[in-house]
């Protein structure tokens, strides 16, 4: 027999939504604090900062998370003192608030895991509370329960700015089903001030024989005397706003409308604030900013099904062409066009701006630069550039290594910079932009640049280079990515172990991307990461060599030299050359590179491909045209295959390998005199490719 859900069950069901909301507010709080460092007197930023803390406390109070409420109350009290002008923000206070925000995150995390704080965490919390109370310069009692007064103004503050608000709230029928307790909300609002003239209406209550015991018919009308602003009162209802209709307007003590100006607006009466359920008004108002939250795994499932639909569509298209029935072919073409439109629209759902990821590094730069005794400012460019959500999550760790590397090795101390005629403050720039169907991320600094002689000396010492051999600068820069390579004199918590840059290259290559370095001694360095926009589905160009099929990313294809006689003399790496408009174009012969067991045709085609600033050719037997490509991961045996990043299933059921254009371009180039790491032998890669194509 099914049991009715209890209040605790409903609260438990809605807790993940609170956790997500609290983390978003905490992220916003951190970014506001970092912005306030350059504008400590900006009242709008202080107000926004206070609202973030107040929202966290209010939502935590609804869920009975007393640890979050009590600690955030102290943060809120200090912020109120800053808003009132009794205190002024300085670096010490900002650091205290940043550390307090870290503790709020920890308390929220503890609530989500339902575990108690460890002793050292409890000690840190208590120490922060002591610092917050001392910094506020006034008593700031700890709130013990979510239904006790938790007003945003400290109790001993004079009630000089209090005003009266007439509040009407009508709860929807599904309020109880969504885990909302109207009385708890009313108790919380009471903590903002004093409630008078409380009444309720029975107009919406049905007769007992028709009443649904699970539905809510409550409504409240009351006058609130409080120092709180209208926005603060609205925030108290934020977590239940989808389940109630709320009206707030300034009034006299008896609830009558206020005619004269209010302290919040000295030019005109306060307008009435009406908040309705988003679902009800979105259809009538056409709100373009309306959105819904979708769990990531559900969206991933849609993407996977879409990939299967693309493969099935390719198979149906092949069958339609074989029948040679014009109407069937045309109908199938229309279906494929619709599938492509659905594909493009669905993939856009996973695109998110990279600016949120960049913004996280403001705190990293601030804390790391302080630890190193450096003065560094972070500039963010192109934060609105969009990238697949999965890519954004995976690029955060490589970016962290590169940012910390630039702070530790690239940028100098203020004294060192001034000695060389530079400004005392260094500059670190994170930028992003679209480049064809890729995204280009740059991490650049105006520091000392890569110390070429130091890198060479360490490479000779470790045997990465033969002693005395001096390769080109590009090769020297690539040595930085060698496993275990570091130029640090001592191991610290920032560097010296030689694992950071190798991790960067491995992670970037795992996303079918590339990383490169440019540097100018005394002027700075720039790390460039190129990534595909998505890891799911791409437009490809299908080619054939013998019985094997390969796919090139369509955005990398420049042109095609069809039915051309090509020199058959190739080296052991499958390289040869052709002349293209008076220039020599290096060409990769796939038959030789992968030891494919098929005869060389008399005439072949060359697909001209671009990778960065480099152009090269790929020698193929057949040009099979554009192909919607669903990217599948390579099996364990094929992961060592050079120049390949993934696989795809064709409509015929065949498997085609997807080329990694940058690494294939490296194979097309002349062999280098030195590499940072040795590739696997051609024999092993060739035999694997031959047996699995």
| Residue 194 CA to its chain's centroid (Å) | 43
The CATH number of whichever domain residue 96 belongs to comes to 1.20.120.160
Check whether residue 238 and residue 300 sit in a common domain: no
Check whether residue 544 and residue 525 sit in a common domain: no
Check whether residue 384 and residue 452 sit in a common domain: yes
Structural domain includes residue 194:
yes
Q: What is the dihedral of CA 142, 147, 148, 152, to 10 degrees?
A: 70
The CATH number of whichever domain residue 264 belongs to comes to 3.30.70
pLDDT value for 232:
78
**Residue 423: band (very low, low, confident or very high) from pLDDT cuts 50, 70, 90:** very high
The CATH number of whichever domain residue 409 belongs to comes to 3.30.565.10
Using DSSP, state whether 231 is helix, strand or coil: helix
Q: Which sign, positive or negative, has the C-alpha torsion 197, 203, 209, 214?
A: negative
pLDDT at 271 exceeding the cut of 90: no
Going by C-alpha positions, the residue among 102, 98, 64, 62 that lies closest to residue 79 is 98
Among 488, 513, 532, residue at a domain's last position = 532
Q: Worst-scoring range by mean pLDDT, 54-63, 109-118, 262-271?
A: 262-271
Q: Which sign, positive or negative, has the C-alpha torsion 167, 172, 173, 174?
A: negative
Check whether residue 55 and residue 118 sit in a common domain: yes
Q: Determine the Cα–Cα distance for residues 52 and 105; give it in Å rounded to an integer.
A: 13
Residue with the bigger pLDDT between 497 and 602: it is 602
Element (H, E) at 305: helix 296-323
Structural domain includes residue 154:
no
Nearest-5° Cα angle at 27, 402 to 279: 130
Structural domain includes residue 610:
yes
Nearest-5° Cα angle at 564, 558 to 568: 105
pLDDT in tens, 458-484: 888 777 777 777 777 777 777 787 776
pLDDT value for 494:
57
Residue 567, CA atoms < 13 Å, CB-side half-sphere: 15
Check whether residue 419 and residue 320 sit in a common domain: no
Using DSSP, state whether 511 is helix, strand or coil: coil
Structural domain includes residue 146:
no
Tokens standing for residue 353? 């701006």
pLDDT at 4 exceeding the cut of 60: no
**Given the structure tokens 């009558």, which residue do they identify?**
256
Check whether residue 387 and residue 473 sit in a common domain: yes
| Distance (Å) of CA 151 to CA 57, 154, 249, 262, 564 | 10, 7, 20, 21, 81
Cβ atoms of 167 and 240 within 8 Å: the answer is no
Check whether residue 457 and residue 583 sit in a common domain: no
**Given the structure tokens 């060479």, which residue do they identify?**
456
Cβ atoms of 669 and 616 within 8 Å: the answer is yes
pLDDT value for 141:
40
**Given the structure tokens 């370095």, which residue do they identify?**
517
Residue ranges making up the domain that contains 334: 296-349
pLDDT at 688 exceeding the cut of 50: no
Among 117, 136, 155, residue at a domain's last position = 136
Residue 645 exposed, middle or buried by CB count within 10 Å (0-12, 13-18, 19+): buried
Check whether residue 477 and residue 548 sit in a common domain: no
pLDDT in tens, 438-464: 789 999 999 998 888 788 888 887 777
pLDDT in tens, 555-572: 888 888 887 665 545 555
Check whether residue 474 and residue 363 sit in a common domain: yes
Q: Determine the Cα–Cα distance for residues 444 and 376; give it in Å rounded to an integer.
A: 12
The CATH number of whichever domain residue 581 belongs to comes to 2.40.50.180
- Other CB atoms within 10 Å distance of the CB of residue 60: 26
Check whether residue 316 and residue 330 sit in a common domain: yes
Check whether residue 302 and residue 372 sit in a common domain: no
Give the residues across from 220 on adjacent strands.
Answer: 169
Q: Determine the Cα–Cα distance for residues 572 and 577; give it in Å rounded to an integer.
A: 14
Structural domain includes residue 156:
no
Laid out side by side, the sheet with 438-445 consists of: 376-381, 426-435, 438-445, 524-532, 514-520
Structural domain includes residue 443:
yes
- How many domains is the chain built from? 5
Alpha helices in 37-118 (DSSP H): 43-62, 66-84, 91-113
Count of residues making up the chain: 693
Going by C-alpha positions, the residue among 281, 529, 246 that lies closest to residue 385 is 529
Q: Worst-scoring range by mean pLDDT, 246-250, 279-283, 324-328, 539-543?
A: 279-283
281 phi/psi in degrees, rounded to 5? -90, -20
Structural domain includes residue 49:
yes
**Residue 521: band (very low, low, confident or very high) from pLDDT cuts 50, 70, 90:** confident
**Residue 8: band (very low, low, confident or very high) from pLDDT cuts 50, 70, 90:** low
Predicted TM-score of the model (pTM): 0.61
Check whether residue 494 and residue 524 sit in a common domain: yes
Cβ atoms of 52 and 32 within 8 Å: the answer is yes
- Other CB atoms within 10 Å distance of the CB of residue 292: 7
Among 479, 500, 532, residue at a domain's last position = 532
Q: Write the secondary structure of 364-399 as one string of H (helix), E (strand) and C (coil).
A: HHHHHHHHHCCCEEEEEECCCCEEEHHHHHHHHHHH
Tokens standing for residue 559? 């042109």
**Residue 682: band (very low, low, confident or very high) from pLDDT cuts 50, 70, 90:** very low
């Amino acid at each position: 027999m099914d049991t009715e859900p209890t209040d605790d069950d409903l609260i438990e069901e809605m807790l993940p939504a609170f956790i997500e909301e609290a983390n978003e507010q905490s992220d916003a709080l951190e970014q506001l604090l970092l912005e306030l460092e350059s504008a400590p007197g900006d009242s709008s930023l202080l107000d926004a900062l206070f609202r973030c803390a107040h929202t966290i406390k209010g939502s935590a109070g609804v869920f009975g998370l007393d640890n979050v409420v009590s600690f955030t109350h102290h943060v809120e009290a200090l912020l109120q003192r800053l808003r009132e002008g009794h205190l002024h923000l300085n670096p010490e206070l900002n650091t205290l608030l940043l550390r307090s925000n870290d503790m709020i995150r920890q308390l929220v995390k503890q609530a989500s895991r339902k575990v108690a704080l460890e002793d050292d965490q409890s000690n840190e919390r208590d120490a922060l509370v002591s610092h917050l109370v001392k910094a506020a310069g006034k008593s700031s009692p700890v709130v013990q329960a979510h239904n006790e007064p938790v007003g945003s103004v400290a109790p001993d503050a004079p009630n000089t700015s209090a005003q009266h608000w007439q509040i009407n709230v009508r709860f929807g029928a599904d309020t109880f089903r969504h885990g909302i307790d109207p009385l708890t909300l009313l108790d919380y609002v009471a903590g903002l001030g004093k409630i008078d003239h409380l009444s309720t209406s029975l107009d919406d209550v049905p007769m007992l024989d028709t009443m649904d015991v699970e539905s809510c018919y409550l409504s409240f009308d009351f006058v609130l005397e409080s120092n709180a602003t209208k926005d603060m009162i609205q925030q108290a209802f934020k977590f239940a706003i989808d389940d109630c209709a709320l009206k707030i307007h300034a009034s006299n003590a008896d609830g009558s409308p206020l005619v004269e100006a209010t302290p919040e607006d000295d030019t005109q009466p306060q307008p009435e604030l009406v908040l309705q359920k988003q679902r009800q008004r979105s259809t009538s108002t056409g709100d373009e900013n309306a959105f819904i939250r979708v769990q990531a795994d559900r969206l991933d499932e849609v993407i996977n099904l879409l990939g299967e639909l693309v493969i099935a569509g390719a198979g149906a298209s092949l069958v339609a062409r074989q029948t040679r029935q014009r109407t069937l072919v045309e109908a199938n073409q229309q279906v494929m066009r619709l599938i492509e439109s659905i594909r493009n629209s669905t993939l856009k759902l996973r695109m998110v701006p990279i600016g949120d990821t960049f913004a996280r590094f403001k705190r990293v730069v601030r804390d790391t630069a302080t630890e190193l005794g450096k003065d560094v400012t972070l500039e963010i460019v192109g934060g609105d550039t969009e990238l697949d959500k999965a890519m954004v999550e995976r690029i955060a760790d490589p970016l962290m290594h590169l940012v910390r590397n630039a702070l530790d090795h690239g940028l100098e101390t203020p004294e060192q910079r001034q000695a060389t005629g530079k400004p005392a403050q260094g500059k670190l720039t994170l930028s992003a932009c679209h480049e064809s169907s890729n995204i280009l991320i740059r991490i650049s600094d105006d520091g000392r640049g890569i110390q070429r002689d130091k890198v060479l000396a360490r490479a000779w010492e470790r045997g990465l280079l033969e002693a005395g051999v001096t390769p080109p600068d590009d090769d020297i820069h690539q040595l930085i990515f060698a496993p275990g390579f570091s130029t640090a004199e001592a191991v610290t918590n920032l560097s010296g172990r030689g694992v950071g840059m190798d991790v960067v290259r491995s992670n970037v290559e795992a996303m079918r991307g590339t990383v490169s370095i440019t540097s100018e001694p005394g002027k700075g360095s720039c790390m460039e990461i190129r990534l595909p926009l998505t890891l799911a589905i791409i437009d490809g160009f299908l080619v054939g060599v013998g019985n094997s099929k390969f796919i090139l990313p369509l955005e990398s294809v420049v042109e095609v030299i069809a039915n051309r006689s090509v020199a058959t003399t190739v080296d052991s790496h499958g390289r040869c050359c052709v002349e293209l408009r008076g220039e020599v174009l290096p060409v990769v012969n796939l038959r030789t590179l992968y030891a494919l067991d098929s005869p060389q045709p008399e005439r072949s085609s060359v697909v001209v491909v671009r990778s960065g600033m480099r152009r090269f050719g790929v020698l193929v037997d057949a040009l099979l045209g554009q192909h919607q490509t669903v990217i599948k991961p390579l099996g364990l045996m094929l992961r060592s295959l050079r120049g390949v990043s993934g696989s795809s299933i064709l409509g015929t059921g065949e498997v085609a390998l997807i080329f990694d254009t940058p690494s294939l371009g490296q194979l097309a180039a002349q062999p280098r005199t030195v590499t940072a790491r040795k590739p696997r032998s051609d024999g092993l890669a060739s035999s694997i490719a031959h047996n699995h194509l």
